[in-house]
């Protein structure tokens, strides 16, 4: 995947739609959403809108990680539900370092492992092989090592696949690459957390079937630093952070519950476009 990273500020437009279709009417539908980013020194929220195509109540708040949350409660039984997010974010190159973020949790709490990020013997050995003399060098070694060892495969894993299983197959998606990084970093006693969000590809016309995920790891000198093992690079201004957590479950964009409904199908479409780049291309044509 080719990722933009020009060093210039970006104005990124996000369009993110999730649609659920139920085989039978679903009642008591509740959706927990983590789809709205918070402002930091390197990302300014210019506009943001969340729309739901069903009657109900939408309550905003924050979770224990400091993420903005919305909880939607449907008023009546539904055959389908569509959630749409649109917004614009101005981002700035900061070489992956996160500045000005609200941090309810101390970094050391992110050394705790989870079922999705527990290392087995193979991962512990892999982590040890990539230990270097200082934290930052170790993190960069893990970044390149995981990127080189894994193959991106959207069919190999699911949302419940843990790091050890994905690493055993040497295949997976950004969620798996990130869980593997978390497992290794935490085994080496480096605080690390899962990040969900969006990124701008070089081909801005691409519509993705999901958002993106990467990690942030703690360096005592720099603070939180972003690493994208899927693409093998440090985070640039082409990334928009939305939520953080110990793993995918804690930072998932959408999680829900319902009563009835039978079989459920879900379709997701995501686009992240650098508006300045699009405008420049239009003027050159």
What band does 2 get if pLDDT is binned at 50, 70 and 90?
A: very low
The mean pLDDT of the chain is 90
**Alpha-carbon distance values, 234 to 35, 149, 174, 197, 247 (Å):** 23, 17, 14, 15, 19
What is the predicted pLDDT for the residue at 278?
57
pLDDT(207) > 80: no
pLDDT(78) > 60: yes
For residues 16 and 35, what is the distance between their CA atoms, to the nearest angstrom? Answer: 9
For residues 134 and 183, what is the distance between their CA atoms, to the nearest angstrom? Answer: 18
What is the predicted pLDDT for the residue at 1?
34
> To the nearest whole percent, how much of the chain has pLDDT over 90?
76
Give per-residue pLDDT as tens, 105-127.
999 999 999 999 999 999 999 99
What is the predicted pLDDT for the residue at 9?
83
The answer to whether residues 225 and 136 touch, using CB atoms and an 8 Å cutoff, is: yes
What band does 261 get if pLDDT is binned at 50, 70 and 90?
A: confident
What is the predicted pLDDT for the residue at 181?
98
The answer to whether residues 127 and 192 touch, using CB atoms and an 8 Å cutoff, is: no
Mean local confidence (pLDDT), 230-249: 95
Which of 225, 227, 218 is CA-nearest to residue 190? Answer: 218
The answer to whether residues 10 and 243 touch, using CB atoms and an 8 Å cutoff, is: no
Expressed in angstroms, the distance from the first to the final Cα of the chain is 25
For residues 214 and 98, what is the distance between their CA atoms, to the nearest angstrom? Answer: 13
- Bridge partners for 86 per DSSP: 15, 49
Q: Is 154 helix (H, G, I), strand (E, B) or coil?
A: coil
For residues 266 and 268, what is the distance between their CA atoms, to the nearest angstrom? Answer: 7
**Alpha-carbon distance values, 48 to 4, 5, 12, 13, 51 (Å):** 22, 23, 12, 10, 10
pLDDT(282) > 80: no
Task: Count Cβ atoms below 10 Å from residue 144 Cβ, excluding itself.
Answer: 14
> To the nearest whole percent, how much of the chain has pLDDT over 70?
91
Q: Is 111 helix (H, G, I), strand (E, B) or coil?
A: helix
What is the predicted pLDDT for the residue at 202?
67
List, in sequence order, the alpha helices (H) in the chain.
121-129, 135-149, 163-169, 174-187, 248-251, 275-284
Give per-residue pLDDT as tens, 41-65.
999 999 999 999 999 999 999 999 9
The answer to whether residues 82 and 90 touch, using CB atoms and an 8 Å cutoff, is: no
Mean local confidence (pLDDT), 66-84: 94
What is the predicted pLDDT for the residue at 3?
41
What is the predicted pLDDT for the residue at 119?
97
For residues 196 and 205, what is the distance between their CA atoms, to the nearest angstrom? Answer: 21
What is the predicted pLDDT for the residue at 259?
87
What is the predicted pLDDT for the residue at 206?
53
- Bridge partners for 193 per DSSP: 216
Of 279 and 238, the one with more pLDDT: 238
Mean local confidence (pLDDT), 170-174: 95
Q: Token pair for residue 135?
A: 């934290």
Which of 277, 283, 93 is CA-nearest to residue 201? Answer: 277
pLDDT(6) > 90: no
- Give me the residue label for tokens 């993190």: 139
What is the predicted pLDDT for the residue at 276?
76
Mean local confidence (pLDDT), 258-273: 88
Cα dihedral: 92, 93, 96, 100 (round 10): -40
Work out whether strand 151-152 and strand 171-172 pair parallel, antiparallel, or are unpaired: parallel
Q: Token pair for residue 73?
A: 């409660």
């Amino acid at each position: 995947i080719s990722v933009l990273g020009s060093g210039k500020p970006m104005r990124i437009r996000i369009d993110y739609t999730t649609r659920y279709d139920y085989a039978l009417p679903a009642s008591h539908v509740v959706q927990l959403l983590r789809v709205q980013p918070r402002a930091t020194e390197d990302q300014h929220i210019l506009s943001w809108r969340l729309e739901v195509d069903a009657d109900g109540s939408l309550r905003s708040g924050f979770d224990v990680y400091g993420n903005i949350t919305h909880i939607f409660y449907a008023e009546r039984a539904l055959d389908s539900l569509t959630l749409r997010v649109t917004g614009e974010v101005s981002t700035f190159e900061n070489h992956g370092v996160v500045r000005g973020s609200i941090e309810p949790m101390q970094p050391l709490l992110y050394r705790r492992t989870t079922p999705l990020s527990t290392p087995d013997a193979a991962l512990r050995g892999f982590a040890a092989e990539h230990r270097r003399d200082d934290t930052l060098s170790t993190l960069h070694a893990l970044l390149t090592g995981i990127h080189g060892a894994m193959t991106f495969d959207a069919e190999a894993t699911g949302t419940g696949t843990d790091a050890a299983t994905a690493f055993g197959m040497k295949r997976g998606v950004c969620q798996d690459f990130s869980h593997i990084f978390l497992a290794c970093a935490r085994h080496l006693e480096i605080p690390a957390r899962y990040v969900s969000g969006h990124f701008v590809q070089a081909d801005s016309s691409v519509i993705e079937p999901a958002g993106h995920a990467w990690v942030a790891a703690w360096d005592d000198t720099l603070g939180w630093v972003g690493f994208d093992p899927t693409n093998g690079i440090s985070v640039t201004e082409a990334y928009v952070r939305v939520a953080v957590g110990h793993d995918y479950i804690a930072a998932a964009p959408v999680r829900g519950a319902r009563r009835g409904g039978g079989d459920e199908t879900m379709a997701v479409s995501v686009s992240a476009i650098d508006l300045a780049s699009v405008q420049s291309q239009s003027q050159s044509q």
